Amino acid sequence: MAAAAGEGGAAGGAIAGFGIARILEALPHRYPMLLVDRVVSLDPGEAIRAVKAVSVNESFFQGHFPGRPIMPGVLQIEALAQAAGILAVESFGLAGSGRLVYFMAIEDAKFRAPVEPGCLLDLTVRFVHKRARVSKFRRTAAVGDTVTCEVGFTAMIADPPA
Active-site amino acid positions: 64
The CA angle 12-134-141, to the nearest 5 degrees, is: 75
Strand (E) or helix (H) holding 83: helix 73-91
Q: Residue 30 carries which side chain, given as an amino acid letter?
A: R
